[in-house]
Amino acid sequence: MFLFRWLKRLAKVAFWLVVLIVLIPIAGLAYGFLSTSSLPATPLPGLAEGRPAEALAAKVRTEIPDYVRPEESTFLTYPEWAIVYAAREYAGFVARNSPSDFPYWAYIGRFWQDYAMVIRASSDHPFNFANHQMLAVIGTSHTIELALQSVYENTVGRITGAIAASPTAADRYLATTAADYAAFLDQVPWYEFPYANERAGLKALARPAGDDEVRFAERRAAFGFAWWIKQGYADLIRSALAATADPALLDIHVWAKGPVGEATRPEADTALELDMGDGGAVFVTRRYQVFTDMIPRLIEQGVSFVEIGGNDEILVTVLSNGALDLPDGTRELFAYPLPASPDVRRTGFVAAVPRLHMTIPAVLTAGARLEHVYDY
């Protein structure tokens, strides 16, 4: 009888946990839509400039496998990168401040606002079930992780932080790991991060003389346990993806004009695929941050773009210390101060690919820093 009552209670707890998890993306998106505005519907100027001849475009699409990527992915990729930026901004914050003061809930809200925004931005494109499924899962995980961390850091973490006169060796180790993790995410999925190795390093850390014993022990125990959980979750996600999903495409095809061969030759993991003379050339290169960092270098050498991933619109974000006047050939989607660094603004805009060689230099000249070009 006791066992039956225990199983019944366990089933009830499991049921309400499932309900809570299901409600997170529903409540999150409701908040996102209610707290953001609808987007302008004005056509993006510059799309017709340099549009390739139909016969040439058909040749490229026929001869190069996986040349065309779904255009809606340039928008739907953004919330995933917003989690990367949250990790980056957390690392920058805890390098100078107590983790108890980090605005965890602001970053939770920001994710769902970003997700609502890209749903609006991609509404004219086909519904991409795989992208939305991924965003719902990682958004829910992101919300749970930051919410739990906020509760812990503002209770136990704040108490041990008040007891300690200064950051301990464990605090410095955690700050270094946060920076390593943020850099890791620029090119590699989070579930590949070696949490177990970091946990072992934290466990082996010796407390220097003068470090507060309570704070040192609390940091080691709390983050050691958290990384144990995250390693198990990462292993589960990795196994599930291997069993159910196709491997992510790690490269991107770019149709460009100008000295394409000469400009791309020194770039790592980049190869010229198709030279069409006056019609330009197609090269393939690595995706993610590597591609973003390459674009200004190519533009400096006189390269312009016809299509990226077979598309003529692409999402770009930049960082600046003030409001920006965006150049022609763009349409602003959002602009907001970073929750952890309110003096820095992130601006996201859609750019016409044929004008990208003018757009990027214009925003850089205006004082912005290129953050990312979202390559489908």
pLDDT in tens, 216-232: 999 999 999 999 999 99
Residue 11: predicted pLDDT? 78
Give me the residues paired with residue 337 across strands: 345
SS3 assignment for 285-308? EECCHHHHHHHHHHHHCCCEEEEE
- How far is Cα 48 from Cα 310, in angstroms, rounded to an integer? 14
Residue 239: predicted pLDDT? 87
CA distances from 100 to 123, 154, 162, 333, 364 (A): 38, 5, 10, 32, 35
Average pLDDT, the chain: 93
Residue 245: predicted pLDDT? 61
Residue 20: predicted pLDDT? 85
**Ranges of the chain with pLDDT below 50:** none
Decide the pairing of beta strands 313-320 and 304-308: unpaired
Q: Map tokens 């850390």 to a residue.
A: 205
DSSP 8-state code for residue 165: S
Tell me the per-residue pLDDT of 1-51, one tens digit each, with 9 for 90 and over. 667 777 778 777 777 888 889 999 999 999 999 999 888 777 788 787 778
- How far is Cα 207 from Cα 318, in angstroms, rounded to an integer? 41
Residue 361: predicted pLDDT? 97
Residue closest to 361 by CA, chosen among 308, 311, 301, 287: 301
